[in-house]
């Protein structure tokens, strides 16, 4: 645990050290994000803020992992491959959302298709080479799923990755909630004796805290899908590797509510001929539009995330 916490501190320090140069470089490259006119009018002042801040997060994670956490074997290769693949998808998408770009980001159909292919590959790697074919039920122990593990893993990874990406909408929102989720799985991994996974999780926490230094309101850099997609994909991969993916909806309750609000809004809109249940979805925008300040929404979602993380750890350790 000591080495994992020190890795977290190292990632935090590195992110702080290189944060300003990276933000400056992103600005110099004219990588400013365009803001949708459909969102709250208060967000218009954010237009032009550099995006692709995920580069800062995973540069920190990559450096620390390569330096002090290189002994994870096949699990390490899987996590690195997942992060690298989803980051590439995120970069391609973010390039289309820049100020002055006409083509827009990747279509949602293309992103879902790419993420589905990745999810199938990850599920197969977990099932066959790594031999993971079970789920841990809190209070009951492991339950073997056999071949059913593959479709279950696909659903876990695809839904988590998209839900996490949906949450990235306010300054500091995803950074704080993701840090809580990774901290929870870091504790769970350490209790299981998986030092690589535990250290990786705490490294991500440290990198996110360093990123938040530049991302809290008013943000000097946005995470973009360059950061959001790898965070969601890595979180789901870690949950599947630990076997504790049934508690992922609890630990990531904010992500679940954000994604559910989008789905409910669309379904309600279509079934009622154009009426809306929320002022706007996802739900963090709804709270802004009913009068909560952006900082209030973010801080309260952080609090819920921390409490949910503690609840998830308690369930995982109640064996």
**Average pLDDT, 10 consecutive residues per value, the chain (319 residues):** 91 94 87 69 74 93 89 86 96 79 74 96 95 91 93 97 94 96 97 94 97 93 94 97 96 96 90 85 90 94 97 90
pLDDT of residue 107: 85
pLDDT of residue 177: 97
93 closest CA partner among 54, 125, 58, 131: 54
For 64-82, what is each residue's pLDDT tens digit? 999 888 777 888 899 999 9
82 closest CA partner among 47, 41, 123: 123
Strand-pair partners of 50 = 32
- Model confidence pTM above 0.75: yes
Kindly calculate the radius of gyration of the chain based on its CA atoms and give it in whole angstroms.
19
User: 231-257 burial, b for 16+ CB within 10 Å, e for fewer?
Assistant: bbbbbbbbbbbbbbbbbbbbbbbbbbb
Phi-psi region of 73 (alpha: psi -120 to 50; beta: other; left: phi over 0): left
pLDDT of residue 104: 64
């Amino acid at each position: 645990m000591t080495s994992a916490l020190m890795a977290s501190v190292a990632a935090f320090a590195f992110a702080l050290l290189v944060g300003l140069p990276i933000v400056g470089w992103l600005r110099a490259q004219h990588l400013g994000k365009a803001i949708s006119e459909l969102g709250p009018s208060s967000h218009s002042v954010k237009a032009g803020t550099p995006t692709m801040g995920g580069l800062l997060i995973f540069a920190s994670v990559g450096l620390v992992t390569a330096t002090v956490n290189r002994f994870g074997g096949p699990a390490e290769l899987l996590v690195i491959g997942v992060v690298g693949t989803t980051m590439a998808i995120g970069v391609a998408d973010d390039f289309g959302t820049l100020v002055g770009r006409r083509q827009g980001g990747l279509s949602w159909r293309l992103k879902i298709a790419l993420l589905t292919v990745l999810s199938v590959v990850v599920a197969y790697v977990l099932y066959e080479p790594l031999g993971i074919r079970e789920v841990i039920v809190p209070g009951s122990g492991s339950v073997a799923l056999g071949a059913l593990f593959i479709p279950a893993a696909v659903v876990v990874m695809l839904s988590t990755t998209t839900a996490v990406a949906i949450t990235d909408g306010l300054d500091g929102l995803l950074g704080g909630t993701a840090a809580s989720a990774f901290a929870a799985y870091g504790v769970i991994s350490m209790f299981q004796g998986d030092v690589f996974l535990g250290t990786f999780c705490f490294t991500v926490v440290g990198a996110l805290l360093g990123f938040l230094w530049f991302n809290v309101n008013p943000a000097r850099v946005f995470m973009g899908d360059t950061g959001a997609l790898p965070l969601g994909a890595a979180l789901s991969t870690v949950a599947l590797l630990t076997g504790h993916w049934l508690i992922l909806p609890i630990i990531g309750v904010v992500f679940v509510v954000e994604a559910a609000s989008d789905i409910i809004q669309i379904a309600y809109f279509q079934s009622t001929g154009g009426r809306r249940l929320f002022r706007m979805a996802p739900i963090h925008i709804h709270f802004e539009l009913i009068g909560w300040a952006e900082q209030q929404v973010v801080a309260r979602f952080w609090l819920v995330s921390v409490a949910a993380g503690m609840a998830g750890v308690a369930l995982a350790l109640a064996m």
